[in-house]
Amino acid sequence: MVPFRRKPLLALLGGLSLFVPAARAQVEPLEPVVVTGERDDAPLRVTTDPRKPRQPLPAHDGADYLKTIPGFSVIRKGGTDGDPVLRGMAGSRLGILLDGEHILGGCGGRMDPPTAYVFPESFDRITVIKGPQGVLNGPGNSAGVVLFERVPRRYAEPGASLYASGLAGSFGRHDEVVDARAGSPAFQAQGVATRSHSDDYADGDGRRVHSRYTRWSANAALAWTPDARTRLELTGARSDGEAAYADRMMDGVAFERTNVGLRFRKEGLSPLVEKVEAHAFRNYVDHVMDNFSLRAFQPGGTMANRAVSNPDRETRGAKALAHLRPNDTNTVVVGADWQANDHTVRNSMNETAMSYASKPRTDDASFANRGIFSEWTHEHPGAGRLVSGLRLDRWQAEDHRATINIGKGAMAVTLPNPTAGAERSKTLASGFARVERELGGKATTLYAGLGRAERFPDYWELFSDREAPESISAFGTRPERTTQLDLGLLHRAADWSATVSAFAGRIDDYILIHTGVARTMPMRTATIARNVDATTHGLEAGLSRTFAKAWKADATLAWVRGENDTDGTPLAQQPPLEARIAVTREDPRWSAGALLRAVARQDRVDPGKGNIAGQDIRPTAGFAVFSLNAAWRYSKSVTVTGGVDNVFDRTYAEHLSRAGSMIPGFIQSTRVNEPGRTLWLKVQVSL
């Protein structure tokens, strides 16, 4: 049995007891633990509250929160910083925005995907838009887009509020979050701080997994609201941390992010112009990885020296849009956005104290994009709506690399870059149209949408030591073009609800990443980026039923299937069929529930091929994991929740997992195994 660390739990309860009021009056209805995941609340749109307790217990990053939503998977690397996958699509096919801002990682091996810089409980709302069914949130979002959002509040009179939470669990896990707000009708201020820590966890067989992490973040916002229709806000953020990885030869010892943003909003300008918005931001990430700070260093082997890599990335962007209402049945949003980012790197292969920091940075890549867009909604009273949009983007990229590395470790070789100094530019178009039909007094909604997204290759597909078939440089990789049909149904009745969302898509010039023999150096392997044609289809479904007044049953299903039409093989890195079934007993003050997560065998694989985040290894067996949870509302302000994940201490690994690496002091596994039995307790206070 995995031990449960009691000291953090006792300290947590002792500290938060200061917030607990003596009276227990005015207890509000309890919201139970989220287990089967949030379902669509509008066509192809899911909205969820990241401050609700969830089971299984997510890591303190964006990807682990998203995996509770049907259709999402995570490419696992250890305890944190997994890569999110929606409907089998990963990387920049899935847009990630923090309060409308793009943030892009620096690591060439995706150690820090955008969700690594997301601390979900510091946000008020998470919105997922599935498929190429929107044009307002940036370019190339062929799989969809995820919006992590804070909801601005204007005080009608001077006041303040406080939200705090603390969590303690197995393997030394503890999280702390504080969100303090204060303001008046004219000025508002907000400060949010988070910290999370976990030791190495153990799998169901008691074997430790190299997975510990410590992360923190701080966010601040100052707003001026001279009237109820005007808001000018300045925001800033800092975050950092370290994380051990079970899938590679290096760990992340710094994830520093600095951010500043300025946004303006004005409502009610005229009967035609409902609202105008403008936003500018700068995000900078400084990422450090090495092979000795978080693991025992052993000279010899593949990495004989103390090695450090220090990439960074600066992203700047701006956006302006106007919300127009020509008449009572039509609304139009028009706007433009701009984004530019620069990537540099510096390395040390024989590290001494701070030696890497004294080296100059080398520019290797730069991108820029200018886009214009419009989205139109036509409401048909009592019947439904038509929604459509169009987007045009002008992309530019420049290759600053003088050389390219082929192979890794002692087998690596450096060759001149044939595309050094080359520039690329491309105009891409995206758009969609969706019909929504409401039946039965709006209890049922049917919808059908056709979308197309053209996606420019990202940094990892163009610059990260790739070899295309015709060259040792992948700078000529063609853009992807996704055309997808989405169909669905949403139904809500008094005591039950159901959702079904199905899709079928064709991807021309899908960018496939795989390992192969280097054409210029046959004795060495290379990571190859090449274009193929692919098709995908799948569905998500959910059913919820309340019975016997206090009992509720939930079930969700997610399935996706992909084909590599060019090679005549299964499309790699596709998740298996997954179902979740939960039963909950809910009363106004307490709830208790059980969750069964069942995942089918996945034998549709193409070993060595995949995407920028991971490649297929071999087929995986199915598994089932059983978990329990309970919640108790002590008062209107205080809620206590707890649970036991993986009750039967099952040893298993997700299909979309990276291969386990040979790390001193740890047992190597085929994939990164998931945590064994995990106990956790969370206290939340709202004042």
Mean pLDDT for the stretch of residues 595-612: 96
Angle at 408 between CA 407 and CA 412, to 5 degrees: 60
What are the CA-CA distances from residue 288 to residues 110, 242, 295, 347, 563 (Å)? 13, 9, 15, 10, 37
Rounded distance, CA 273 to CA 626, Å? 53
Q: What are phi and psi of 238, to 5 degrees?
A: -140, 145
- Does position 87 have pLDDT exceeding 70, yes or no? yes
- Residue 56 in 3-state DSSP? coil
Q: How many helices (H) and strands (E) does the chain have?
A: 3, 38
Residue 492 structure tokens: 């809500």
Burial of 357 by CB count in 10 Å (0-12 exposed, 13-18 middle, 19+ buried)?
A: exposed
> Which tokens go with 550?
């206090």
The per-residue pLDDT for range 310-325, each reduced to its tens digit, is 999 999 999 999 999 9
Report residue 407's pLDDT band, with 50, 70 and 90 as the boundaries: low
Answer whether residue 301 shows pLDDT above 50.
Answer: yes
Contact predicate 137/145, CB 8 Å: yes
Domains and CATH numbers, the chain: 7-686 (2.40.170.20)
| pLDDT value of position 305 | 82
Q: What angle do CA 72, 75, 76 make, to 5 degrees?
A: 120
Q: What are the pLDDT digits (tens) for 57-85?
A: 888 889 989 998 999 999 999 889 999 99
The mean predicted confidence, pLDDT, of the chain is 90
- pLDDT tens digits, 494-505: 889 999 999 999
Q: How far apart are CA 230 and CA 210, in angstroms?
A: 50
pLDDT value at 522 more than 80: no
**Cβ–Cβ < 8 Å for 383, 337:** no
What's the CA gap between 590 and 489, in Å, rounded?
32
What is the C-alpha to C-alpha distance for residues 163 and 374, in angstroms, rounded to an integer? 37
Query: Left (φ > 0), alpha (ψ -120 to 50) or beta: where does 380 sit?
Result: beta
Per cent of the chain over pLDDT 70 is 91
Which has more pLDDT, 31 or 685? 685
**Mean pLDDT confidence for 133-142:** 96
Asked if 452 and 482 touch (Cβ cutoff 8 Å), the reply is: yes
Query: Which residue shows structure tokens 């979050």?
Result: 177
The model's pTM: 0.92
Contact call for residues 294 and 259 (beta carbons, < 8 A): no
pLDDT class of 102 with cuts at 50, 70, 90: very high
Residue 12 pLDDT: 39
* pLDDT tier at 511, thresholds 50, 70, 90: very high
Confidence of residue 30 (pLDDT cuts 50, 70, 90): confident
* Bridge-based pairing state of the strands 144-149 and 94-98: parallel
Q: What band does 239 get if pLDDT is binned at 50, 70 and 90?
A: very high
Q: What is the mean pLDDT of residues 635-660?
A: 95
- Strand spans (E) along 268-311: 273-290, 308-309
Residues 6+ apart with CB under 8 A from 99: 148, 149, 150, 235, 261
CB within 8 Å of 306: residues ≥ 6 apart: 290, 291, 292, 297, 348, 350, 351, 352
